[in-house]
Structure 1
């Protein structure tokens, strides 16, 4: 009977350590994945908007390709900052975001091929709303896994903005340059805010 009580206590401690390790894994240096990605995307959206305003370069949206460069940078940084203990939950979160990353690549490749075939490069406008939806789903799943309601529910705002843009395109409403700012705003809401909330809880836990 005594052995059963000890096992239960050890099980609770193990679960607690796994959750704590997972939350620590979310951090990179003085920030975390969400904060880095959110601020970078928001800043890039402002840069693209500003470039268009000053130069009227119609293909300024191509600057979004810098997201792939930033992704590579984050992957390198992520490998250097791996925790000493890699839990099953850590691996699940990793695989969720790897799946989302591959969805980005496949979506971009398919849209690019169709654009070349039909000579209609405005199809690339679909990348913004689809990206907002993909990221929103990824953040929501992450929030559910680590049992954080803010991270789980705030992304629905970004998903809603993505669906708004996607519906507008379907209704032949021509995208405007302000859409880039809307896209950046969606990342502030579904990544930056949850990221700071997570950091604040981590500081209190310490």
Structure 2
């Protein structure tokens, strides 16, 4: 194949096509991590709540280990599909770093909670709410900023709730923090793709 120089019109068309393909590929998978982790967290919290009401055993907290076991592979699967788009911009890298740092801190504190006295049902929504807010700030997506800020604020309410109802409050916070903005983002991205 022979290399040839593109004229101005062909260059602009190539750039426009590449931007459109990047937007479509990004849109296809952008909201998946929010939805995967949001729904899985809500489901696990409700299962633990129901199981505790039936058994009365605090050993039901080991069910939390199902959260990364379920959400992790799905996130990995969709992130691999997302990586096939070939282009990672600065915002993608910053957002990934935010979630890596907050996720690792949350994971470490969750492990410590099994050994010691850590109010994990307060700390996790606080951390994840801050990560959601920061991700919204980086991407300039207001629904994430708003939902992250509301969730961070609501996490303090868990300090005043006692008993198993704390799990329900925890689940509601994750619906506000991840599920709602995940669906809004998914809808917005699909609309962007359909316009192009």
TM-score by length of 1: 0.74
Alpha-carbon distance in structure 1 between the residues aligned to 2:176 and 2:134: 16
| Equivalent of residue 109 in structure 2, options 104, 107, 110 | 107
| Equivalent of residue 166 in structure 2, options 153, 174, 179 | 179
Q: Does 1:131 pair with 2:133?
A: no
How many Å apart are 1:55 and its aligned residue?
2.0
Alpha-carbon distance in structure 1 between the residues aligned to 2:179 and 2:167: 17
How many Å apart are 1:157 and its aligned residue?
2.3
Q: Does 1:159 pair with 2:152?
A: yes
Q: Give CA deviations for 1:138-168 in whole Å, capped at 9, x if unaligned.
A: 11111111111111111222212211224x3
How many Å apart are 1:105 and its aligned residue?
2.7
- Kept in 1: contact 2:29–2:79 (CA 8 A): no
Alpha-carbon distance in structure 2 between the residues aligned to 1:71 and 1:134: 18
How many Å apart are 1:58 and its aligned residue?
2.7
Unaligned runs of 5+ in 1: 1-8, 116-122
Alpha-carbon distance in structure 1 between the residues aligned to 2:70 and 2:93: 22
- Kept in 2: contact 1:22–1:87 (CA 8 A): no
- Kept in 1: contact 2:29–2:78 (CA 8 A): no
Q: Does 1:143 pair with 2:130?
A: no
Which residue of the partner structure matches residue 49 of structure 2? 49
Match of 1:154, SS state, is helix
Q: Give CA deviations for 1:72-92 in whole Å, capped at 9, x if unaligned.
A: 324532442223211121111
Q: Give CA deviations for 1:55-110 in whole Å, capped at 9, x if unaligned.
A: 22233222112223235324532442223211121111111111111111332344
- Kept in 2: contact 1:23–1:146 (CA 8 A): no
Which residue of the partner structure matches residue 204 of structure 1? 191
How many Å apart are 1:199 and its aligned residue?
1.0
How many matched pairs? 178
TM-score by length of 2: 0.77
- Kept in 2: contact 1:49–1:180 (CA 8 A): yes
Aligned-residue Cα RMSD (Å) equals 2.9
- Kept in 2: contact 1:129–1:161 (CA 8 A): no
- Kept in 2: contact 1:93–1:142 (CA 8 A): yes
- Kept in 1: contact 2:106–2:124 (CA 8 A): yes
Alpha-carbon distance in structure 2 between the residues aligned to 1:36 and 1:75: 7
- Kept in 1: contact 2:99–2:131 (CA 8 A): yes
Alpha-carbon distance in structure 2 between the residues aligned to 1:39 and 1:109: 21
Unaligned runs of 5+ in 2: 1-11
